[in-house]
Chain A
Amino acid sequence: MTNFFKSPLFGISLILVIIAATLPWYVSGYILGLLTVAYYFGVFAMSWDLLFGFAGEVNFGPTFLIGTGAYTAGILNNHYGLPMYPCIALGAVAAVIAGFVLALPALRVRGPYFGLTTLVAVLILQSFIVVFADLTGGEIGLTIPDVLSIDAGVNYWIALGFMVVSAAILFGLSQSPVGLVLQASGQDPVQAGALGFNIVKHKLAAFIVSAFFSGLSGALLVFYFGTASVGTVVDIAVGVQVIVAAVLGGRRTVLGAALGAIFLIVAGEFLRPTGELATFIVSAVALVVILFFPGGFLGSVLSREARS
């Protein structure tokens, strides 16, 4: 932990955050809007990395947690007229409960079996949203009466602030003794257990933390867009984007996940003139990175640093 404050990574991060915070004074509202979404995705990806990179659990359904948080917040606001901030808080609470539910099978099965369970969880959530259309808006999506702000700059600062705080907590956690125990139990659960660590308790904690930030971010995103729909916060494609972002940025780095998310969203937007091919190109680039630079953006930098 103390090493981190002395490492160049800390300095670089600090400088980047300061630059990012001043952006609203000199870039357009459009770029701010783009980065706002990217920051929320960054939190999704970092939360996922905590589960995968440290607890060793391949969660194919990050959108189960994101969607639960987002829809809970949206429904409370739309149907029950609850004010925005309680809605966001309750969204995060609902996501934590969902994380707890998801953690139960994870503690029993491993590898592809757990991956599938999480995928199925998303499909079930999606089916329920469609079936209970009166409550959720179904395929149509839910219109949210309140929004965080209509000012691009304010929205941007909220998102940036949220991402920085989340990153600090998640990164801090990953470098703490708890994170090390998690990493050990992810790689060799038997040995970690033999050393006297309570793996179940640690993994459960990882799920709850991951769910909390996913849900909170999902709820905020809903109040930024002013709409919640399956295609935005639940669809498997969204989950795939989160996973790709985390792998692209570098597994086990937490901060890399945020970089990966920002890259994916910004690249997708800059490729908009290529029209329908934008998604194709982004996927191809991501594939090349995964095949040839499996450490991701930050992974390669960090390993070089560790060697030196």
Chain B
Amino acid sequence: MTSTTPRRTAWSLILLGATALGLSLSSAANAADPIKIGVIAEAQAIAGASIPQAAQMAADEINAKGGVDGRQIQIVAYDNHSSSADSVRAFQRAVNEDKVNAVITSYISEVVLALEPWASRLKTLMITPGAASNEITRAIHENYDKNKYTFHGYLTSAALAQSVCDAAKDLLVDGKKMKTAVIMSEDAAWTKPLDIGYQECLPKIGLKVLDHIRFSPDTTDFTPIFNKIESSKPDVIITGISHVGVQPTVQWKNQQVPIPMFGISSQATNSTFGKDTNNAADGVLYQGVSGPGVAVTPKSVPFAENFKKKFGNYPSYAGYTSYDEVYMIADAAKRAGSTDSDKLVAAMEKTDWEGTIGRVQFYGKEDKFTHGIKYGKGLITGLILQWQDGQQVAVWPKDVAKAQLKFPSFIKFSSAN
């Protein structure tokens, strides 16, 4: 369960020892100096724990092949305890003390938004493997020269909403003749634009939005929420949840809420979700960018299997992106021929990288979502997976789908109304 491998602990101890003695590490770059990537993530959360692990895997692979022009990739990991303040401190430490060349950070939008100004102030390339808020790219678009150091290495909330709607059209509207939906989202930075996206695109695909419920991420009793949803009799619940997941899913099953759940449910992407919920997850449909056994690209399955071999469980969604991001940073450093921040940013903008989640390109300065990853066919479209008999199974799009939709017996389809 622990993410800190003994080797890395030893490294940190040495670094710490050096600091304590007040020795300053040479910052002058030469060919043999490693390229250092700081990884600031939530070691105690399953989604976050995969981030440093996957990054280390990518670095080991690159190093085994000789590194980048002879320079090794070195990962320096920091646990931020899911806190913005700890993240800011870790970021300052990473840049000022450990002299990292780039930072991969966090799946929580709140943390990334707190760090974004620091990436600008300290002029260091920063990329997030899992945060979704549109605010991240909006700041870059509105003040490019200042905020260009931040990259959004995961789908923005707007793109996530689009991905859910595209899939809902095929699976629910065409497949199950559904007509109505209720949006159920937690109150957080990333769900505001997500909900706006849902409200725009759901009616377009033929799902009427009957109600829109936002609840505090501290909620533990979901009975009143499900009750309210049921009273408006929708065909489907469209979800936007990340901080919560286990509790609403278990209560959905225990109370036998007869309406399927479909949408973003970040915790459902974890392979341990089935066990955490005592298989209450069966029937839950969730959006993902990758999943075990799903060959989105030729790199997806080998990565997931190697990860499992090494750490005992499949990576979370942020593990896939974190793995790709190390490769993208290495690729950018190679093309830039330097780890100078401005040159690295310029090279990063020209990224065209086939990773584990699809083909990654970034939107440009003039686009609305500057430095966000491009959404669309041939690039990244996302997947829909379903928990079936304790397993995660891809059900959309057709070319990677492994099974038909399958629901527990308490789900009732009322396609008549």
Interface residues of A (CB under 8 A from B): 26-31, 33-34, 37, 130, 133, 138-141, 143, 147, 150, 152, 225-227, 229, 231-232, 269-270, 272-276, 278-279
Contacts and interface: CB of A to CB of B under 8 A. Distances in A.
A278 B79 CA distance: 10
A27 to B, nearest CB: 6
Given A147-B121, A273-B4, A227 B85 contact: yes
A30 B85 contact: no
A276 B2 contact: yes
B117 A226 contact: yes
B78 interface: yes
Nearest to A270: B16
Interface in B78-102: 78-79, 81-85, 88-89, 92-93, 96-97
10 contacts: A28-B96, A30-B19, A138-B188, A139-B110, A140-B113, A140-B189, A229-B83, A273-B9, A275-B4, A276-B44
Given A26-B22, A30-B96, A139 B81 contact: no
B118 interface: yes
Interface in B207-261: 216-218
Nearest to B133: A140
B201 interface: no
B219 to A, nearest CB: 11
Number of contact residues on B: which range applies? Answer: 35 or more
A272 B78 contact: yes
Interface SS majority for chain A: helix
Contact of B81 (A27, A141, A279): A279
A150 B19 contact: no
Contacts of B16: 270, 272-273
Given A28-B97, A276-B43, A226 B88 contact: yes
Nearest to B118: A226
Given A232-B84, A275-B2, 16 more contacts: A28-B96, A30-B96, A130-B218, A139-B187, A139-B188, A141-B110, A141-B114, A143-B116, A225-B85, A226-B88, A226-B118, A226-B121, A227-B117, A229-B110, A231-B82, A231-B85
A-B pairs, 7 with minimum CB distance: A30-B97, A273-B12, A29-B96, A232-B85, A140-B189, A227-B114, A275-B4
A219 to B, nearest CB: 15
A133 B214 CA distance: 13
Contacts of B217: 139
B74 interface: no
B187 A229 contact: no
B79 A272 contact: yes
Contacts of A274: 4, 9
B190 to A, nearest CB: 9
A28 B22 contact: yes
A229 B114 contact: yes
Contact of B121 (A130, A141, A150, A279): A150
Nearest to B9: A273
Interface in B136-184: none
A152 B307 CA distance: 39
Contacts of B31: none
